[in-house]
């Protein structure tokens, strides 16, 4: 096992995990709002926010699907050591998936839950170059009137919302920033 596999976790695990969990929940509760999330120093190409998110939400019962450049030996070993999360060989087996948007599509490959169990769906962590509050208009739970957020594919996220109460939830990460768009959020051109 490489020395870097052992590094990069939370320095002060209880405190860092609590701060990260709060940032994750705040982001999901307030769609499109950009939060700061740090604590982990994961191997490239994982961003600080994505690494902290994985440390916070993943464990031995949450299969993770890695896509594109994120499917590397360094990321696999780091994730296994720090979270114990098993790797999902296909999107259909994933509780979480991470990568750039191009590596995560098509969205139809991921579990969207069932009518009886809509919570049995995947959460996608989309690594971006930057997060921007200019873009699509967002409305729905957690948003006072409306807000804006730049999304990689408006039509795909609109189609996901149409599945509600089923569908996927999304975290968007860049550097130490995180934002979320749950399936309950309505999106339209700004």
User: pLDDT digits over 4-36, tens only?
Assistant: 556 666 677 778 878 889 999 999 999 999 999
Residue 18 has what pLDDT?
Answer: 86
Q: Is 121 helix (H, G, I), strand (E, B) or coil?
A: strand
Mean pLDDT of 33-40: 91
DSSP letter for 112, please.
B
pLDDT tier, 3 (very low <50, low <70, confident <90, very high otherwise) = very low
Nearest to 126 by CA among 190, 186, 49: 49
Q: Given its phi and psi angles, is residue 103 left (phi above 0), alpha (psi -120 to 50 degrees) or beta?
A: alpha
Residue 23 has what pLDDT?
Answer: 94
The sheet with strand 186-188 has its strands ordered as: 147-149, 136-139, 186-188
3-182 is classed CATH 3.40.50.11310: yes
Residues 87-129: tens digit of each pLDDT: 999 999 999 999 999 999 999 999 999 999 999 999 999 999 9
Question: Which helix (DSSP H) or strand (DSSP E) does residue 66 occupy?
Answer: strand 64-66
Which residues on neighbouring strands pair with residue 121, listed in sequence order? 112
- 8 Å CB contact between 20 and 53: yes
Mean pLDDT of 64-77: 97
Mean pLDDT of 141-148: 96
Residue 1 has what pLDDT?
Answer: 46
* β-pair type (147-149, 35-36): unpaired
Mean pLDDT of 59-64: 97
């Amino acid at each position: 096992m490489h020395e870097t596999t052992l590094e990069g976790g939370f320095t002060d695990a209880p405190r860092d995990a609590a701060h990260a969990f709060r940032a994750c929940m705040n982001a999901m509760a307030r769609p499109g709002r950009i939060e700061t999330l740090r604590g982990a120093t994961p191997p490239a190409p994982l961003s600080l926010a994505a690494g902290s998110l994985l440390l916070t939400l993943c464990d031995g019962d949450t299969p993770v699907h890695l896509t594109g450049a994120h499917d590397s030996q360094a990321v696999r070993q780091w994730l296994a050591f720090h979270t114990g999360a098993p790797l999902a060989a296909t999107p259909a087996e994933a509780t979480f998936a991470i990568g750039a948007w191009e590596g995560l599509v098509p969205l139809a490959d991921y579990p969207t839950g069932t009518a009886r169990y809509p919570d049995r769906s995947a959460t996608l962590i989309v690594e971006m170059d930057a997060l921007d509050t200019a873009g699509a208009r967002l409305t729905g739970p957690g948003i006072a009137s409306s807000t804006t957020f730049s999304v990689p594919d408006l039509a795909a996220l609109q189609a996901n919302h149409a599945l509600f109460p089923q569908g996927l939830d999304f975290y968007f990460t860049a550097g130490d920033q995180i934002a979320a768009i749950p399936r309950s959020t309505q999106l339209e051109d700004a």
